Amino acid sequence: MTSKIKPSKGAPYARIMGVGGYRPTRVVPNEEILKHIDSSDEWIRSRSGIATRHWAGPDETVATMSVEAAGKAIADAGITPEQIDAVVVSTVSHFKQTPAIATEIAHLIGAGKPAAFDISAGCAGFGYGLTLAKGMVTEGSAKHVLVIGVERLSDLTDLEDRATAFLFGDGAGAVIVGPATEPAIGPTVWGSEGDKAETIKQTIAWDAYRTTPVPGGDSPGERTAPEAIRYPAITQEGQAVFRWAVFEMAKVAQQALDAAGVSPDDLDVFIPHQANMRIIDSMVKTLKLPESVTVARDVETTGNTSAASIPLAMERLLATGQAKSGDTALVIGFGAGLVYAATVVTLP
């Protein structure tokens, strides 16, 4: 049987056209974290490489930070908000189940009536969003896609947890993905390992707080929240996550290079998820990257911002001149799920 559906008329390839970032104004040094845990600045730096992080104030919401980052990306791409056909937002710190924060952001930036949705893929979320955007552009359902990674992880930080209190920061990073005449976003190597889901997780589910009657329960108010339940936070098994990231993600990064037909010697820039400086340095060593490759180490002053970390690091490298337009970059995100995504891109 012959299909009557016409073939899609998308662009032959897709590229990142512009990038933007937003970091909250409040800078939090390690000394402030040490008010809550028994540790030291030296210990935090040696274990994570983090010296400071940014925490959002009351007016720096997931939406407002995203709008700031999006505006910069739109301007950098040389388009207008009205030209955006889809908005993809990756976040784990938008606390309303519905509607998606992407719809609010689309409205706030004046994008008209684009497709808009959220994804939850933790620290790999930017890579997932980038892959979806590339597919939309090449398939023809969108010409310009706004991809945002945004987090307010300070809302999910347990300041008394010695293993994680110093790790997380807030911020938003955004890119515009649009049509290209030559390959500029390589094949994505992505996946999940759900058997390791317990290694990074939220401590308590939101429904633990429910105090109203549950439909179908044996009695009204059958499920009620304890009087003093601890607020949910992100927790992780540090050593298990470290080993997985160092040994398994280096393999994924190499697979992404192979899929793109690029060798380590061809790279100009390496932008891994900014989880931990020791993980970054170990991956550089395992991949045998030449010293000429610029490595993003934004984690030192920004902390771990999950889905926002890669676009924030990309934006800083370009803004400071450490990377330039046209450079070939390997990007890889990995985290809760456990999920991962890696690809090779041409920087805007």
Active site residue 30: no
CA trace torsion 232, 311, 77, 111 (10° rounding)? -10
| Annotated active-site residue in 54, 94, 144, 273 | 273
In the three-class reduction of DSSP (H, G, I as helix; E, B as strand; rest coil), residue 332 is classed as strand
- Cα distance between residue 111 and residue 176, in whole Å: 13
| Annotated active-site residue in 30, 123, 144, 276 | 123
| Annotated active-site residue in 30, 144, 276, 304 | 304
Active site residue 54: no
- Cα distance between residue 348 and residue 345, in whole Å: 9
Structure token digits, residue 94: 């938008």
In the three-class reduction of DSSP (H, G, I as helix; E, B as strand; rest coil), residue 212 is classed as coil
Q: Which residues contact 100 (CB under 8 A, 6 or more apart)?
A: 89, 116, 117, 118
pLDDT tens string for the chain (348 positions)? 788 888 888 999 999 999 999 999 999 999 999 999 999 999 999 999 999 999 999 999 999 999 999 999 999 999 999 999 999 999 999 999 999 999 999 999 999 999 999 999 999 999 999 999 999 999 999 999 999 999 999 999 999 999 999 999 999 999 999 999 999 999 999 999 999 999 999 988 888 777 776 676 555 445 555 555 788 899 999 899 999 999 999 999 999 999 999 999 999 999 999 999 999 999 999 999 999 999 999 999 999 999 999 999 999 999 999 999 999 999 999 999 899 999 999 999
Is the separation of the CB atoms in 97 and 118 below 8 Å? Answer: no
pTM of the complete model? 0.95
Q: List beta partners, residue 46.
A: none
- Spatial CA neighbour of 297 closest among 28, 23, 48: 48
Is the separation of the CB atoms in 334 and 114 below 8 Å? Answer: no
